[in-house]
Amino acid sequence: MSIEIKVPPLPESVSDATLVAWHKKVGEAVVRDENLVDLETDKVVLEVPAPASGVLQEIRIEDGATVVAGDVLAVLEEGAVSAEETPQAASPQKAAAPKLEKEVRAPKTSPSVRRLLDEHDLDETMVIGTGKDGRITKADVLSFLKSDDSGNVTPGDPTPVVIDDQDVVGIERSEQRVPMTRLRARIAERLIEAQQTAAMLTTFNEVDLTKVMSLRSRYKESFEKQHGVRLGFMSFFAKAATEALKKFPVVNASVEGTDVIYHNYYDIGIAVSTERGLMVPVIRDVDQMSFADFERELGDVAKKAQAGTIGMEELTGGTFTITNGGIFGSMMSTPILNQPQSAILGMHAIQKRPMVVDDEIVVRPMMYLALTYDHRIVDGKDSVQFLVTIKQLLEDPGRLLLNI
């Protein structure tokens, strides 16, 4: 029986998608629920699974095409056997029973890694994964390509001209033009929109993390044993930011036309770096969460974002955003607003620096904080006091427990 493979319903507010890559060719066997093709929207990558086992009979839409919900992507012949699996008939009267591919899946890879494998005609089983649970990373594929003994050179890499197999006498210069992904194009569009719309200004402060680090070091093992999640720094910053937002509600507001929308809830977006670009999953009602609840939810949405399986509803509706450039070594930056929000908090690298405490010079773990805000609705006084409140809560974390 022939089955049409259609574009599934797209997330709300998404009108179309780009067909990124097919993972099967016409005539190849597939098993039920195996991913056939990736569709990329402005925010997420959607996988289209096989509805049944059989053979991919026809592909109607090729890579790079724009599709909408309901478009027919391909035709699957249920229960059919691929040409490679058809046994040599011993007798014309005997029909061989359909032999379907054993349902063994290779370690799950992200869409960008699968595209890289497809570009170089590689199979996942050829590359050793160093990621969690044997997951193949982009670095694994690039490492495999560079160590390939076949003589092939990765596109875009300089090609040495060799004499006597040793003396390199020249380097061939080359370029590679690659179109932006939909996500990267959308990121660019939103950044330009933010700069053209909001009156952005950034204020800075610094925070001594001695007590936060001491508290975390003292309880991290028992915390993990009791709650099953690690105690990270982000939960301290998210809880401190939430308390500061309560005191300065305009920082938790958004602009809509000539109106200011004040939110009486605290949905915090946490910027997550992925292979496809920056995503900002939103954690709802942070003010009602314990540290363990927050760490658990953050871990869940971060994994989804990095795997490309996060839903559109998990990426929209935040009231405030936190971004941490410190994990990449950034000492200071001026983050750009995540519109229509009115502010974003930038965390940075923790560095030991000499500080004057009680008229004595001591070494303390310090972090620069940056708050970029929309000066159309947030005054400088509010932005400075908001950042000072976060500083006070982190330098005396007991305040977070006592709500003072």
Provide the annotated active-site residues.
375, 379
Structure tokens at 320: 């405030």
What's the token pair of residue 189?
Answer: 């569009």
CA-to-CA dists, residue 220 to 128, 170, 264, 292, angstroms: 33, 55, 32, 11
SS3 212: helix
Q: Kind and range of the H or E element at 216?
A: helix 210-227
CA distance 123 to 114: 9
Task: Say which amino acid occupies 296.
Answer: R
Dmax over Cα atoms in the chain, in whole Å?
98
- Decide if 68 contacts 7 (C-beta within 8 A): yes
Residue given tokens 């805000």 in the structure block: 373
Question: Quick one: three-class SS letters along 108-171?
Answer: CCCHHHHHHHHHCCCCHHHCCCCCHHHCCCHHHHHHHHHCCCCCCCCCCCCEEEEECCCEEEEE
Distance (Å, whole) CA 294 – CA 298: 6
Residues comprising the chain, all counted: 404
* Angle, in degrees to the nearest 10, between helices 234-247 and 291-307: 110
